[in-house]
Structure 1
Amino acid sequence: MFSLARRAAASRASTRTFTSSSVRASDLAKLILVGRLGKDPEVRKTRSDKEYISYTVATANYPPPPPNPDGTRPEAKSTWHTILSFNPSSNNYLRTLHKGSQVYVEANYELREPDPTADPDTPQGQRQIFLRHENIRVLRSAPNRSSSEDESV
């Protein structure tokens, strides 16, 4: 009887589980974007004077919307995503990128609920998606800018 209990315990110990960490430690919310930089990345500062980079990626909604009753198809619309990077080594690289570059971006995201006491017309009164930069790859560099464009920017 004792050997039967020992065998049952041994078989339970050899059974593998999917993960040994807690569920919370393995939860993840990640967004992958493939699009174009809407403008050159900008250097900004937090209230505590910590530097970060903000950049915008435009993506097209695909597939396009369904056809209208008259058979015409509405134009696909662009969606603009603002991503923030707080990593100094990534920020140095992000500063070298230019508007129009096609990029592959991985970002962690957090959905922030509106503040019930805030005015609904302000950002604090609206639901927001906070995107934190994780990784970026340039798929195609931006077309060369002429010197007149560089001077006007």
Structure 2
Amino acid sequence: MSFLARRLAANATPLTTRAFSASARRDIAKITLVGNLAATPEVKATSTGKEVIEYAVASGDGPRDNRHTSWFRVATFAEEGPRRDYLTSLPKGSTVFVEGDAVMNTYTDAEGKTRSSLSIYQKNLEVLRRGSPSE
């Protein structure tokens, strides 16, 4: 065995080690959406008093005569300032690119049925086309 091969074998890390990160492993679900805002984003208060910005993104697929639209609820925490003002000024119909964390929640509704909902927490937002205020 050559010197280089012995050296590489001696310094090899086990396959279970994540060489690219010093932090602990976390399971995460990411989602990317491209679609149109269903309405102007709104600021709402949480039960703890913190404010959250909520909005819905509509994304469609399929041929024009048999189009299916999916609706996604998105939330983000943004402190008061220019970033928050910009987001809450986006009109309905604006085309957006959203990257976020996806979390599946399970709950029991008023009729006692088990339901699931997908929550998306925005990490990044880019406006691809700003809608007109009259849309």
TM-score range, shorter chain: 0.7 to 0.9
Matched, 1:58 2:58: yes
**Equivalent pair of 2:76/2:122 in contact (CA under 8 Å):** yes
| Structure 1 partner of 2:66 | 75
Tell me how far apart the structure 1 counterparts of residues 62 and 68 of structure 2 sit (CA, whole Å).
Answer: 10
Which of 101, 105, 122 is the aligned partner of 1:108? Answer: 101
**Equivalent pair of 1:59/1:78 in contact (CA under 8 Å):** yes
* Aligned-partner residue type, residue 130 of structure 1: S
Tell me how far apart the structure 1 counterparts of residues 133 and 65 of structure 2 sit (CA, whole Å).
Answer: 32
Give the fraction of aligned pairs with identical amino acids, expressed as a percent.
31
Question: Which string of whole-angstrom CA distances, capped at 9 and with x for unpartnered residues, describes residues 55-98 of structure 1?
Answer: 010000x244xxxxxxxx96212111110102326534311211
Tell me how far apart the structure 1 counterparts of residues 118 and 67 of structure 2 sit (CA, whole Å).
Answer: 22
| Structure 2 partner of 1:97 | 90
Relative to 1, partners in 2 of residues 1:98 and 1:74: Cα closer, same or farther, differing over 3 Å?
closer
1 or 2, which has the higher strand percentage?
Answer: 2
Structure 1 unaligned segments of length 5 or more: list them. Answer: 65-72
Give the secondary-structure state (helix, strand or coil) at the position aligned to 1:108.
strand
Q: TM-score, normalised by structure 1?
A: 0.67
**Equivalent pair of 2:43/2:52 in contact (CA under 8 Å):** yes
| Structure 2 partner of 1:42 | 42
* Aligned-partner residue type, residue 93 of structure 1: Y
Which of 134, 143, 147 is the aligned partner of 2:132? Answer: 143
Tell me how far apart the structure 1 counterparts of residues 45 and 120 of structure 2 sit (CA, whole Å).
Answer: 17
1 or 2, which has the higher helix percentage?
Answer: 1
| Structure 2 partner of 1:87 | 78
**Equivalent pair of 2:92/2:133 in contact (CA under 8 Å):** no
Matched, 1:134 2:127: no
Give the secondary-structure state (helix, strand or coil) at the position aligned to 2:107.
coil
Tell me how far apart the structure 2 counterparts of residues 74 and 96 of structure 1 sit (CA, whole Å).
Answer: 32
Task: Please give the root-mean-square deviation of Cα atoms over the aligned residues, in Å.
Answer: 3.2
Tell me how far apart the structure 2 counterparts of residues 34 and 84 of structure 1 sit (CA, whole Å).
Answer: 15
Give the secondary-structure state (helix, strand or coil) at the position aligned to 1:44.
strand
Q: TM-score, normalised by structure 2?
A: 0.75
Of the structure 1 ranges 34-43 and 136-145, higher mean CA displacement relative to structure 2 is found in 136-145
Question: Which string of whole-angstrom CA distances, capped at 9 and with x for unpartnered residues, describes residues 35-68 of structure 1?
Answer: 00000001100011111100010000x244xxxx
Tell me how far apart the structure 2 counterparts of residues 114 and 12 of structure 1 sit (CA, whole Å).
Answer: 52
